[in-house]
Protein backbone atom coordinates (compact mmCIF):
# COMPACT_ATOMS: atom_id res chain seq x y z
CA UNK A 1 0.00 0.00 0.00
CA UNK A 2 1.43 3.38 -0.94
CA UNK A 3 2.06 5.96 1.72
CA UNK A 4 -0.30 8.27 -0.08
CA UNK A 5 -3.17 5.80 -0.09
CA UNK A 6 -2.54 4.98 3.52
CA UNK A 7 -2.88 8.64 4.40
CA UNK A 8 -6.03 9.06 2.36
CA UNK A 9 -7.53 6.00 4.02
CA UNK A 10 -6.51 7.21 7.42
CA UNK A 11 -8.16 10.57 6.73
CA UNK A 12 -11.39 8.98 5.61
CA UNK A 13 -11.44 6.82 8.74
CA UNK A 14 -11.00 9.94 10.82
CA UNK A 15 -13.51 11.98 8.82
CA UNK A 16 -16.34 9.51 8.80
CA UNK A 17 -15.44 8.27 12.28
CA UNK A 18 -15.44 4.74 11.00
CA UNK A 19 -15.79 1.96 13.55
CA UNK A 20 -15.77 -1.61 12.28
CA UNK A 21 -18.75 -3.66 13.39
CA UNK A 22 -17.91 -6.89 15.11
CA UNK A 23 -21.43 -8.05 14.44
CA UNK A 24 -20.95 -7.93 10.70
CA UNK A 25 -17.48 -9.37 11.04
CA UNK A 26 -18.82 -12.31 13.02
CA UNK A 27 -21.52 -12.92 10.46
CA UNK A 28 -19.00 -13.04 7.65
CA UNK A 29 -16.16 -14.85 9.32
CA UNK A 30 -18.21 -17.17 11.50
CA UNK A 31 -15.75 -16.44 14.25
CA UNK A 32 -16.74 -14.27 17.15
CA UNK A 33 -13.87 -14.54 19.63
CA UNK A 34 -16.70 -14.84 22.13
CA UNK A 35 -16.84 -17.48 24.84
CA UNK A 36 -20.07 -18.17 26.67
CA UNK A 37 -19.64 -18.70 30.39
CA UNK A 38 -22.67 -20.02 32.22
CA UNK A 39 -22.62 -19.55 35.97
CA UNK A 40 -25.12 -21.34 38.19
CA UNK A 41 -25.27 -18.65 40.87
CA UNK A 42 -23.10 -15.61 40.46
CA UNK A 43 -23.81 -14.21 43.89
CA UNK A 44 -21.48 -16.54 45.78
CA UNK A 45 -17.82 -15.96 46.51
CA UNK A 46 -17.16 -19.31 44.84
CA UNK A 47 -18.38 -17.82 41.58
CA UNK A 48 -16.43 -14.59 42.02
CA UNK A 49 -13.17 -16.43 42.25
CA UNK A 50 -14.17 -18.78 39.44
CA UNK A 51 -15.00 -15.87 37.15
CA UNK A 52 -11.85 -14.07 38.09
CA UNK A 53 -9.76 -17.07 37.11
CA UNK A 54 -11.69 -17.49 33.89
CA UNK A 55 -11.35 -13.85 32.82
CA UNK A 56 -7.64 -13.78 33.41
CA UNK A 57 -7.06 -16.61 30.94
CA UNK A 58 -9.39 -15.42 28.18
CA UNK A 59 -8.25 -11.83 28.44
CA UNK A 60 -4.68 -12.71 27.70
CA UNK A 61 -5.75 -15.02 24.88
CA UNK A 62 -7.76 -12.30 23.15
CA UNK A 63 -11.14 -13.88 23.75
CA UNK A 64 -14.04 -12.11 25.39
CA UNK A 65 -15.86 -14.20 27.97
CA UNK A 66 -19.55 -13.43 28.29
CA UNK A 67 -20.79 -14.30 31.74
CA UNK A 68 -24.43 -15.12 32.30
CA UNK A 69 -26.11 -15.92 35.57
CA UNK A 70 -28.70 -18.71 35.86
CA UNK A 71 -29.51 -18.02 39.47
CA UNK A 72 -29.82 -21.78 40.04
CA UNK A 73 -32.61 -21.98 37.50
CA UNK A 74 -32.17 -24.92 35.12
CA UNK A 75 -34.77 -23.43 32.78
CA UNK A 76 -32.74 -20.26 32.46
CA UNK A 77 -29.63 -22.29 31.86
CA UNK A 78 -31.21 -23.99 28.86
CA UNK A 79 -32.31 -20.66 27.46
CA UNK A 80 -28.84 -19.18 27.90
CA UNK A 81 -27.18 -22.10 26.17
CA UNK A 82 -29.36 -21.57 23.11
CA UNK A 83 -28.93 -17.84 23.28
CA UNK A 84 -25.17 -17.86 23.51
CA UNK A 85 -24.82 -20.42 20.75
CA UNK A 86 -27.05 -18.43 18.47
CA UNK A 87 -24.90 -15.43 19.30
CA UNK A 88 -22.00 -17.29 17.80
CA UNK A 89 -19.85 -18.10 20.79
CA UNK A 90 -16.93 -20.32 19.90
CA UNK A 91 -17.16 -22.36 23.05
CA UNK A 92 -19.02 -22.83 26.29
CA UNK A 93 -17.73 -22.97 29.84
CA UNK A 94 -20.48 -24.29 32.06
CA UNK A 95 -20.84 -24.28 35.82
CA UNK A 96 -24.12 -26.08 35.49
CA UNK A 97 -27.07 -26.12 37.85
CA UNK A 98 -28.75 -29.10 36.25
CA UNK A 99 -27.45 -32.58 36.76
CA UNK A 100 -29.30 -33.77 33.70
CA UNK A 101 -28.53 -31.63 30.73
CA UNK A 102 -29.58 -33.06 27.34
CA UNK A 103 -29.26 -29.72 25.52
CA UNK A 104 -25.66 -29.34 26.46
CA UNK A 105 -24.90 -32.91 25.47
CA UNK A 106 -26.50 -32.27 22.10
CA UNK A 107 -24.44 -29.13 21.51
CA UNK A 108 -21.23 -30.88 22.41
CA UNK A 109 -22.10 -33.82 20.16
CA UNK A 110 -22.54 -31.40 17.29
CA UNK A 111 -19.00 -30.22 17.79
CA UNK A 112 -19.33 -27.18 20.02
CA UNK A 113 -16.35 -27.01 22.38
CA UNK A 114 -17.68 -27.41 25.91
CA UNK A 115 -15.90 -27.58 29.27
CA UNK A 116 -17.63 -28.04 32.60
CA UNK A 117 -16.50 -26.10 35.66
CA UNK A 118 -16.64 -27.86 38.98
CA UNK A 119 -19.96 -29.65 38.51
CA UNK A 120 -20.32 -32.81 36.41
CA UNK A 121 -23.55 -33.90 34.73
CA UNK A 122 -25.22 -37.27 34.55
CA UNK A 123 -24.43 -39.95 32.01
CA UNK A 124 -22.03 -38.06 29.81
CA UNK A 125 -18.30 -37.53 29.86
CA UNK A 126 -17.67 -33.88 29.25
CA UNK A 127 -14.33 -32.19 29.47
CA UNK A 128 -14.27 -31.02 33.05
CA UNK A 129 -12.12 -29.34 35.66
CA UNK A 130 -13.21 -29.97 39.20
CA UNK A 131 -11.98 -30.89 42.61
CA UNK A 132 -11.59 -34.27 44.23
CA UNK A 133 -14.59 -35.11 46.37
CA UNK A 134 -14.06 -38.40 48.13
CA UNK A 135 -10.55 -38.16 49.49
CA UNK A 136 -10.83 -34.86 51.38
CA UNK A 137 -14.15 -35.82 52.94
CA UNK A 138 -12.91 -39.18 54.11
CA UNK A 139 -9.80 -37.44 55.48
CA UNK A 140 -11.97 -35.04 57.44
CA UNK A 141 -13.93 -37.91 58.87
CA UNK A 142 -10.82 -39.88 59.79
CA UNK A 143 -9.55 -36.78 61.52
CA UNK A 144 -12.81 -36.40 63.47
CA UNK A 145 -12.60 -40.00 64.54
CA UNK A 146 -8.98 -39.68 65.63
CA UNK A 147 -9.95 -36.66 67.73
CA UNK A 148 -12.56 -38.73 69.53
CA UNK A 149 -15.74 -37.22 68.10
CA UNK A 150 -18.74 -39.49 67.76
CA UNK A 151 -20.27 -40.12 64.31
CA UNK A 152 -20.57 -36.77 62.50
CA UNK A 153 -23.73 -35.37 60.91
CA UNK A 154 -23.82 -34.00 57.38
CA UNK A 155 -25.83 -30.79 56.87
CA UNK A 156 -26.75 -29.98 53.29
CA UNK A 157 -29.00 -27.71 51.29
CA UNK A 158 -31.26 -29.18 48.61
CA UNK A 159 -29.23 -31.65 46.64
CA UNK A 160 -30.90 -31.41 43.27
CA UNK A 161 -29.28 -28.29 41.85
CA UNK A 162 -25.66 -29.13 42.49
CA UNK A 163 -24.05 -32.34 41.42
CA UNK A 164 -21.10 -31.61 43.67
CA UNK A 165 -23.41 -31.51 46.67
CA UNK A 166 -24.73 -34.93 45.75
CA UNK A 167 -21.26 -36.32 45.35
CA UNK A 168 -20.24 -34.95 48.72
CA UNK A 169 -23.35 -36.45 50.23
CA UNK A 170 -22.48 -39.85 48.80
CA UNK A 171 -18.84 -39.54 49.85
CA UNK A 172 -19.94 -38.71 53.38
CA UNK A 173 -22.15 -41.78 53.54
CA UNK A 174 -19.42 -44.06 52.24
CA UNK A 175 -16.89 -42.59 54.60
CA UNK A 176 -18.86 -42.92 57.81
CA UNK A 177 -19.78 -46.46 56.80
CA UNK A 178 -16.15 -47.34 56.45
CA UNK A 179 -14.51 -45.20 59.11
CA UNK A 180 -17.13 -45.25 61.85
CA UNK A 181 -18.57 -48.59 60.81
CA UNK A 182 -22.10 -47.18 60.80
CA UNK A 183 -24.92 -49.45 59.71
CA UNK A 184 -27.49 -46.78 58.86
CA UNK A 185 -25.52 -43.84 57.42
CA UNK A 186 -28.64 -42.10 56.09
CA UNK A 187 -29.56 -41.34 59.70
CA UNK A 188 -26.68 -38.88 59.81
CA UNK A 189 -27.87 -36.68 56.94
CA UNK A 190 -29.69 -33.44 57.77
CA UNK A 191 -31.39 -31.54 54.97
CA UNK A 192 -31.62 -27.93 55.93
CA UNK A 193 -32.34 -24.50 54.52
CA UNK A 194 -30.49 -21.33 55.25
CA UNK A 195 -33.30 -19.00 54.37
CA UNK A 196 -35.79 -20.74 56.61
CA UNK A 197 -35.62 -20.04 60.30
CA UNK A 198 -35.33 -22.71 62.88
CA UNK A 199 -34.77 -25.93 60.98
CA UNK A 200 -31.05 -26.05 61.55
CA UNK A 201 -31.37 -24.99 65.16
CA UNK A 202 -33.87 -27.76 65.85
CA UNK A 203 -31.56 -30.39 64.38
CA UNK A 204 -28.55 -29.03 66.24
CA UNK A 205 -30.39 -29.03 69.55
CA UNK A 206 -31.39 -32.65 69.02
CA UNK A 207 -27.83 -33.59 68.19
CA UNK A 208 -26.40 -31.73 71.17
CA UNK A 209 -28.77 -33.34 73.65
CA UNK A 210 -29.06 -36.86 72.27
CA UNK A 211 -25.51 -37.69 71.25
CA UNK A 212 -23.33 -39.91 73.38
CA UNK A 213 -19.89 -38.36 73.56
CA UNK A 214 -18.98 -35.20 71.64
CA UNK A 215 -20.89 -34.76 68.38
CA UNK A 216 -19.55 -33.18 65.22
CA UNK A 217 -21.14 -31.63 62.17
CA UNK A 218 -19.95 -31.29 58.62
CA UNK A 219 -21.36 -28.60 56.34
CA UNK A 220 -21.75 -29.45 52.67
CA UNK A 221 -20.23 -26.11 51.65
CA UNK A 222 -18.98 -22.85 53.12
CA UNK A 223 -22.39 -21.23 53.27
CA UNK A 224 -23.83 -24.14 55.21
CA UNK A 225 -20.83 -24.34 57.53
CA UNK A 226 -21.02 -20.65 58.38
CA UNK A 227 -24.73 -21.05 58.92
CA UNK A 228 -24.01 -23.89 61.34
CA UNK A 229 -21.55 -21.72 63.25
CA UNK A 230 -24.06 -18.89 63.37
CA UNK A 231 -26.76 -21.11 64.79
CA UNK A 232 -24.42 -22.81 67.26
CA UNK A 233 -23.27 -19.46 68.58
CA UNK A 234 -26.90 -18.46 69.09
CA UNK A 235 -27.59 -21.71 70.91
CA UNK A 236 -24.54 -21.02 73.02
CA UNK A 237 -22.69 -24.21 72.17
CA UNK A 238 -18.91 -24.09 72.58
CA UNK A 239 -16.85 -25.23 69.60
CA UNK A 240 -15.18 -27.76 69.73
CA UNK A 241 -15.91 -28.77 73.33
CA UNK A 242 -19.66 -29.20 72.89
CA UNK A 243 -19.53 -29.94 69.19
CA UNK A 244 -16.96 -30.15 66.38
CA UNK A 245 -17.45 -28.24 63.11
CA UNK A 246 -15.79 -28.62 59.73
CA UNK A 247 -16.47 -28.70 56.01
CA UNK A 248 -15.23 -27.87 52.55
CA UNK A 249 -14.31 -24.25 51.88
CA UNK A 250 -15.41 -23.21 48.42
CA UNK A 251 -14.96 -19.52 49.15
CA UNK A 252 -11.25 -19.17 48.77
CA UNK A 253 -9.90 -16.06 47.13
CA UNK A 254 -6.41 -17.42 46.82
CA UNK A 255 -4.48 -16.43 49.90
CA UNK A 256 -5.94 -12.98 50.17
CA UNK A 257 -8.43 -13.62 52.82
CA UNK A 258 -9.01 -16.34 55.25
CA UNK A 259 -12.52 -16.39 56.68
CA UNK A 260 -12.09 -19.80 58.25
CA UNK A 261 -9.16 -18.55 60.30
CA UNK A 262 -10.90 -15.32 61.27
CA UNK A 263 -14.07 -16.80 62.60
CA UNK A 264 -13.14 -17.99 66.03
CA UNK A 265 -12.13 -20.56 67.08
CA UNK A 266 -10.81 -21.22 63.57
CA UNK A 267 -12.66 -23.70 61.40
CA UNK A 268 -11.21 -26.90 60.00
CA UNK A 269 -11.71 -26.97 56.23
CA UNK A 270 -10.27 -28.08 52.98
CA UNK A 271 -9.93 -25.43 50.34
CA UNK A 272 -11.49 -25.70 46.90
CA UNK A 273 -9.48 -23.31 44.78
CA UNK A 274 -12.18 -22.00 42.54
CA UNK A 275 -9.94 -19.44 40.88
CA UNK A 276 -7.70 -22.32 39.85
CA UNK A 277 -10.69 -24.29 38.58
CA UNK A 278 -11.57 -21.21 36.54
CA UNK A 279 -8.10 -20.83 35.09
CA UNK A 280 -7.65 -24.48 34.23
CA UNK A 281 -11.08 -24.91 32.68
CA UNK A 282 -10.59 -21.80 30.56
CA UNK A 283 -7.23 -23.09 29.36
CA UNK A 284 -8.74 -26.46 28.58
CA UNK A 285 -11.49 -24.83 26.53
CA UNK A 286 -8.91 -22.86 24.55
CA UNK A 287 -7.01 -26.07 23.86
CA UNK A 288 -10.16 -27.71 22.58
CA UNK A 289 -11.06 -24.76 20.37
CA UNK A 290 -7.59 -24.87 18.85
CA UNK A 291 -7.57 -28.62 18.51
CA UNK A 292 -11.15 -29.90 18.23
CA UNK A 293 -10.05 -33.51 17.78
CA UNK A 294 -8.35 -33.77 21.14
CA UNK A 295 -9.21 -36.41 23.69
CA UNK A 296 -11.69 -35.76 26.46
CA UNK A 297 -9.98 -34.48 29.59
CA UNK A 298 -10.99 -34.56 33.23
CA UNK A 299 -8.88 -32.63 35.72
CA UNK A 300 -9.25 -33.17 39.45
CA UNK A 301 -7.63 -30.68 41.81
CA UNK A 302 -6.47 -32.15 45.11
CA UNK A 303 -7.56 -30.05 48.08
CA UNK A 304 -5.53 -30.01 51.25
CA UNK A 305 -7.08 -30.22 54.67
CA UNK A 306 -6.37 -27.37 57.07
CA UNK A 307 -6.93 -28.42 60.64
CA UNK A 308 -7.96 -25.65 63.02
CA UNK A 309 -9.36 -25.47 66.54
CA UNK A 310 -12.94 -26.28 65.61
CA UNK A 311 -12.10 -29.99 65.48
CA UNK A 312 -9.32 -30.22 68.02
CA UNK A 313 -10.54 -32.00 71.13
CA UNK A 314 -7.11 -33.31 72.06
CA UNK A 315 -4.38 -30.71 72.49
Partner DNA sequence: TTGTAGGCGTTATCAG
Partner DNA sequence: CTGATAACGCCTACAA
The residues of the shown chain that bind DNA, judged by CB under 7 A, are 1-2, 4-5, 18-21, 24-25, 27-30
Antiparallel, parallel or unpaired: β 114-117 and 64-69: unpaired
Regarding 61 and contact with a second copy (CB under 8 A), the answer is: no
Candidates 54-62, 137-145, 197-205, 289-297: pick the segment binding a second copy (CB under 8 A).
54-62
Regarding 124 and contact with a second copy (CB under 8 A), the answer is: no
Contact with a second copy (CB under 8 A) among 9, 12, 13, 64: 64
Regarding 226 and contact with a second copy (CB under 8 A), the answer is: yes
Contact with a second copy (CB under 8 A) among 4, 14, 20, 236: 20
Query: Quick one: what does residue 294 bind among DNA, a second copy, none, with the CB cut-off 5 to 8 Å set by partner type?
Result: none
Antiparallel, parallel or unpaired: β 268-271 and 216-219: unpaired
Contact with a second copy (CB under 8 A) among 9, 12, 23, 298: 23
Residue 30 or 210: the one with the smaller Cβ distance to DNA is 30
- One DSSP character per residue, the chain reads --HHHHHHHHHHHHHHT----HHHHHHHHS---EEEEEES-TTSHHHHHHHHHHHHHHHHHT-EEEEEE-TT-HHHHHHHHHHHHHTT-SEEEEE-S-S--HHHHHHHHTT--EEEES---TT---EEEEE--HHHHHHHHHHHHHTT--S-EEEES-STT-HHHHHHHHHHHHHHHHHS--S-GGGGEEE--SSSTTHHHHHHHHHHHH-SS--EEEESSHHHHHHHHHHHHHHTPPTTTT-EEEEEE----TTS--HHHHSTT--EEEE--HHHHHHHHHHHHHHHHH-TTPPP-EEEE---EE--GGG----
Query: Quick one: what does residue 207 bind among a second copy, DNA, none, with the CB cut-off 5 to 8 Å set by partner type?
Result: none
Candidates 17-25, 152-160, 169-177, 306-314: pick the segment binding a second copy (CB under 8 A).
17-25
Residue 111 or 315: the one with the smaller Cβ distance to DNA is 111
Candidates 83-91, 165-173, 204-212, 306-314: pick the segment binding a second copy (CB under 8 A).
83-91
Query: Quick one: what does residue 264 bind among a second copy, DNA, none, with the CB cut-off 5 to 8 Å set by partner type?
Result: a second copy
* Residue 9 φ then ψ, to 5°: -60, -50
Q: d(Cα 267, Cα 248) in Å, to the nearest integer? A: 10
Regarding 71 and contact with a second copy (CB under 8 A), the answer is: yes
Show contacts with a second copy in window 144-163 (CB under 8 A): none
Residue 37 or 284: the one with the smaller Cβ distance to a second copy is 37
Cβ–Cβ contacts within 10 Å for residue 258, how many? 16
Regarding 83 and contact with a second copy (CB under 8 A), the answer is: yes
Residue 124 or 259: the one with the smaller Cβ distance to a second copy is 259
Q: In sequence order, what are the residues at sequence separation of 6 or more whose Cβ sits closer than 8 angstroms to the Cβ of residue 152?
A: 141, 144, 176, 188, 215, 216, 217, 218, 244
In the complex, the smallest distance separating the C-beta of residue 64 from DNA, rounded to whole angstroms, is 15
Regarding 66 and contact with a second copy (CB under 8 A), the answer is: yes
Residue 26 or 142: the one with the smaller Cβ distance to a second copy is 26
Chain residues that interact with a second copy, rule: CB under 8 A: 19-24, 26-27, 32, 41-45, 47-49, 51-52, 55-56, 59, 64-69, 71, 76, 80, 82-83, 85-88, 194-195, 223, 226, 229-230, 233, 253, 256-259, 262-264, 275
Amino acid sequence: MSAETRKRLHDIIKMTNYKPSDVARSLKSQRSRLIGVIISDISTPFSSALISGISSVFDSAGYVPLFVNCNNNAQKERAFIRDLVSRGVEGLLVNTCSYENPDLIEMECKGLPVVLCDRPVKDYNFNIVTSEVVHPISSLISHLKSQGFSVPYFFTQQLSSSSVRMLRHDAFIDSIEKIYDVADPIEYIRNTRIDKQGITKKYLNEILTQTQGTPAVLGSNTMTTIHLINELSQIGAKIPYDIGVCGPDDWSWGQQLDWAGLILPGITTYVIESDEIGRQSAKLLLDIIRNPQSEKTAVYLKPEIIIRSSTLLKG
